[in-house]
Structure 1
Amino acid sequence: MAGDIDNIVKLTLDAMIPVIYLDDGLIDRVLVQRFNPSAGAAFADPSDTLVEALGSEEPILYIRVDAVPEEAVF
Structure 2
Amino acid sequence: MDGIKYAVFTEKSTRLLGYNQYTSHVESKSSRTEIKHWVELFFSVKIIAMNNNRLPEKGRRTGPIIRHTMDSN
Report the TM-score when normalising by structure 2: 0.32
More strand by share: 2
More helix by share: 1
Report the TM-score when normalising by structure 1: 0.31
